[in-house]
Structure 1
Amino acid sequence: MRLFSKSFIVRLIRLRNQLGVFWPLIISQATLLGVVALAVYGYMELEGWSMSDALYMVVITLSTVGFGEVQPLSSEGRMLTTFLILAGVGNFAFILGAFSQLLVEGRFFHFIGSRRVLKTIGKLKDHCVVCGYGRIGSVVVNEIIAEAQDVVVIENDPEAVKALQEEGILYVDGDATSDEVLAQAGVANAKNLITALSEDAANVYVVLSAREMNKDIYIVSRASTHQRVSKIKQAGADSVILPNHIGGLRLAQSVLRPTVTSFMELAYGRSTMDIQMEELTIGPDSQLVGKDLIESELRPKFNLIVIAIKKNGKDMIFNPEGRTVLEAGNTIIAVGANEKLKEFARLL
């Protein structure tokens, strides 16, 4: 016959993982409370004392203040006091030492701060979760923050976590392949997830877990080789990016087509000029629904250049004609001044 059920043991292990360095302190406190309760009961039964006298005797014994006995003790009472000194005083001293160490090392305030961060993350909706804050992940996070969007980072490298703390970025300190850590990052309520881990196997696991938690989340994954792209997409990723391949292409294009490369950097907002390329989705209640590009007056009113239109469930239409009718759910890719793009976005 088992003393504890399997589910109880699993919950206990999860609690230990959550408490981390505080686990020994919690166990010691629970043990001390048990010793105190047992000693109080023992004094009441063996000596016939009231609860207040018994509790007072336990407190002065544990605190080692040197006060005398509340009342003369019998031989059984002295044995109980001996047990209390051996079991309780050492435990009490361990708790004080462990708590002092936590304060000196700053772990206590780190734990309190982490709990506050998790509460803040729990209130987020439609945010972006980024797994990994390395060379690629840090760039991703900074780009998202620059667009004034909420982002939560999952990272377990101490140096990266320290950088996240200094920059004031919301984060979860843990392994991104853990379902519990993904849940703490709010994947169930997130709109997007980007997994930029260095190992493809880890990215596959993150994609599988995230897709199971949130069927509607848009997932982008990093991959190291072309051979892994299909596997990651099968796991549930909507898009797979090969950073090394893209970086190589950009380097080559900078030599082969320098003007085009300069324009792309300009369109993506890498220039001091106030011009950017943006994608804008037409909502069902937009006043543009049913109008063609000419009637929408994108060029005369907003001075925007429409490069392409993504129709619902269809291929991209590049350089669309003026009579192309706009429908709800269409995505317009346009180039223009930032303010004009924002002004046009308000019509959608």
Structure 2
Amino acid sequence: MKSNSFLVRLVRLRNQLGVFWPLMVSQVSILGVVILAVYGYMVLEGWSMADAVYMVVITLSTVGFGEVQPLSTEGRILTSFLILAGVGNFAFILGAFSQLLVEGKFFHVIGSRRVLKTIGKLKDHCVVCGYGRIGSVVVKEIVAEGQDVVVIEHDPEAIALLQEEGILYIEGDATSDEVLAQSGIVNAKNLITALSEDAANVYVVLSAREMNGSLHIVSRASSHERVSKLKQAGADSVILPNHIGGLRLAQSVLRPTVTSFMELANRRATLDIQMEELTIGEDSSLVGKDLIESELRPKFNLIVIAIKKQGQDMVFNPDGRTVLEAGNTIVAVGAQEKLKDFSLLL
């Protein structure tokens, strides 16, 4: 049983070290050769430890120095084995390291560790699972807003694109708890699951909700039947891309002017105007004031479309006497520069 347990731990260690396993084995091997050789000289020749260590060092380094003391026949045999074992180990180390360089694994591993270190420092970032047709659009929008994002992807072609665009990513399966943890899910603020399979999205939502109870989760679904499953798993909202895309196409024909107005929500609209949501902080000077007192219209020329109070339904076209409270989210339309100025008050 003990031998089996040792083998299991050894296999786990090998999996953890990955491409560095041959280097570790060679280092342990050369260390073992040195210890046995020192012990051999001390026993066979009766030398002190200092003399034995020095003899081993000059022998393995092949510097050509003479023997510390005259060797017996047994000592010469030991020296011969030491030379063969040392040369063999050094050749193995050189071969393993050369393989890492030639295959590019060394720099890949070093780069991956740097990425993990960078991700570990992130706070309130967004994690996106999947960099396909939908996920790539999501990531580009988040990056355009200047927010931190980490992508989880396993497809080599998608990973190549992420590398070209300089986007932080974790290579692996998003349904793996270990991969989710590497993305900094514990410190993340938002999670978007844009995987093609609904079952995978459900699993990711379940795992992420368990790791971070305060995480805001948005998930993709392929049909209405899957919406309830994802919400039961812990998703705050579920989006059906095909359904939304169909509605948008229909509205572009039925209500083209309204559709053009909704384009204002896109920051890259051609007009210098956009729709934005702004949350009032606890220390904001607007807390306790109504919309008239806030002077949103005369000072910033903003139109308030709706106000979302915590725990209540959204109020559209709010009255001028509506009192603003900490935590309220204001949906407003106006010039981009004016929206930025107003956000400073929040």
Query: TM-score, normalization: structure 1?
Result: 0.89
d(CA) in 2 for partners of 1:343, 1:95: 61
Q: Is the 8 A contact 1:290 1:325 kept in 2?
A: yes
Instruction: Give the aligned partner of residue 22 of structure 2.
Output: 24
In the TM superposition, 1:49-60 aligns within 5 A as 49-59=47-57
Instruction: Give the aligned partner of residue 149 of structure 1.
Output: 147
* Structure 1 residue 149: Cα displacement: 0.9
* Structure 1 residue 341: Cα displacement: 0.9
CA RMSD, Structure 1 to Structure 2 (Å) = 2.6
d(CA) in 2 for partners of 1:338, 1:218: 26
Instruction: Give the aligned partner of residue 197 of structure 2.
Output: 199
Instruction: Give the aligned partner of residue 214 of structure 1.
Output: 212
Distance 1:293 1:11, change over 3 A: farther
Q: Is the 8 A contact 1:63 1:89 kept in 2?
A: no
Distance 1:211 1:292, change over 3 A: same
d(CA) in 2 for partners of 1:120, 1:129: 14
In the TM superposition, 1:157-168 aligns within 5 A as 157-168=155-166
SS, match of residue 173 in structure 2? coil
- Range that drifts further, 140-149 or 269-278: 269-278
Instruction: Give the aligned partner of residue 255 of structure 1.
Output: 253
Instruction: Give the aligned partner of residue 132 of structure 2.
Output: 134
Instruction: Give the aligned partner of residue 35 of structure 2.
Output: 37
d(CA) in 2 for partners of 1:76, 1:316: 91
Distance 1:224 1:177, change over 3 A: same
Instruction: Give the aligned partner of residue 2 of structure 1.
Output: 2
Match of 1:40, as an amino acid? V
Deviation by residue 1:125-171 (Cα, 9 ceiling, x = unmatched): 11111122222222111111111111112222223223222222222
Instruction: Give the aligned partner of residue 89 of structure 2.
Output: 91
Count the aligned residue pairs: 346
SS, match of residue 122 in structure 2? coil
* Structure 1 residue 96: Cα displacement: 0.3
- Range that drifts further, 80-89 or 153-162: 80-89
Q: Which runs of 5+ in 1 are unaligned?
A: none
Q: Which runs of 5+ in 2 are unaligned?
A: none
Query: TM-score, normalization: structure 2?
Result: 0.90
Distance 1:10 1:97, change over 3 A: closer
d(CA) in 1 for partners of 2:155, 2:4: 35
Distance 1:32 1:191, change over 3 A: same
Distance 1:52 1:135, change over 3 A: farther
d(CA) in 1 for partners of 2:162, 2:156: 10
d(CA) in 1 for partners of 2:162, 2:121: 19
SS, match of residue 308 in structure 1? strand
In the TM superposition, 1:238-253 aligns within 5 A as 238-253=236-251
In the TM superposition, 1:1-348 aligns within 5 A as 1-3=1-3, 9=8, 13=12, 15-59=13-57, 61-62=59-60, 71-81=69-79, 83-84=81-82, 87-348=85-346
SS, match of residue 131 in structure 2? coil
Match of 2:328, as an amino acid? N
Distance 1:134 1:84, change over 3 A: farther
- Range that drifts further, 54-63 or 178-187: 54-63
